[in-house]
Structure 1
Amino acid sequence: MKLIVATIKPFKLEDVREALTEIGVRGMMVTEIKGFGAQSGHTEIYRGAEYAVNFVPKIKLEVAVSASMADQVIETIAKTARTGKIGDGKIFVLDIGQAMRVRTGETNEDAL
């Protein structure tokens, strides 16, 4: 089992969700986050005053899938979230040692 953690631009969330649903992903966790990477923030002008925006709004997706499905999920997220501009995000893949569905007590792949 793998946990795929992806950061993407907020306006790409619905496209990514639809694409993942089409390939059979049955659930995901979504968190609104702020962060920065290569772009290191930027400056904006608000009411005539310039100020630095050090953290950029992002969306963090967490998707638990079977190991056999991980590559397809990664490829789908990357293809769907890509704009070709700086700040498109990152994808991290972690191993899951154990999973349990609280309601039924199912474990590991059955819990996904």
Structure 2
Amino acid sequence: MAPLEIPMKQVVAIVKPYLAERILESLRRAPLEAVVVREVKGMGKQKSYLDQYADSEYSLAFLPKVEITLWVDDARAEEVVRKVVEVARTGRMGDGKIMILPANPVEMPV
């Protein structure tokens, strides 16, 4: 199977759970090929330094996050990332991460 000749990017955003719905709403009209949303747990630079998360005590090493994976046309990837950052950035530790990866879609055989 050969990859399709569609230049695409895979944008993976790991964000705070309470921001996921707002991010998805901001992308409602964006030209996305596909979207996957998962509940995940993670730890970044904050490690155990973050005593509070979303106004409640948290003692676990891993904090709840939401992973939003988006597949988007190459030319629109930066625009989509800007929209995610606008909504997800709070300026506090633990805001999350965004990764942009090349995507090579393959047509499924019939």
2:28 aligned counterpart, secondary structure: helix
Larger radius of gyration: 1
2:82 matched to 1:70? no
Distance 1:18 1:24 in 2: 13
- Over 3 Å counting, the alpha-carbon distance change for 1:53 and 1:59 in structure 2 is same
2:31 matched to 1:16? no
- 8 Å CA contact 2:33–2:73 kept in 1: the answer is no
1:73 aligned counterpart, secondary structure: helix
Distance 1:83 1:27 in 2: 26
- Point out where structure 2 has 5 or more consecutive residues left out of the alignment: 1-7, 53-57
Distance 1:61 1:5 in 2: 6
Structure number with higher helix proportion: 1
Distance 1:5 1:39 in 2: 20
1:13-52 pair list within 5 angstroms = 13-25=20-32, 27-41=34-48, 42-43=50-51, 52=59
Query: Once the two structures are superposed, what CA deviation does each residue of 1:24-74 show, in whole Å capped at 9, x if it has no partner?
Result: 336410010001001103457xxxxxx841000000010000001100011
Give the TM-score, by structure 2 length. 0.78
2:32 aligned counterpart, secondary structure: coil
Which amino acid counterpart does residue 71 of structure 2 have in structure 1? A
Deviates more, 1:34-43 or 1:63-72: 34-43
Which amino acid counterpart does residue 69 of structure 2 have in structure 1? E
Identity of aligned residues (%): 33
- 8 Å CA contact 1:3–1:65 kept in 2: the answer is yes
Query: Once the two structures are superposed, what CA deviation does each residue of 1:80-101 show, in whole Å capped at 9, x if it has no partner?
Result: 111111100000011012244x
Give the TM-score, by structure 1 length. 0.76
1:15 aligned counterpart, secondary structure: helix
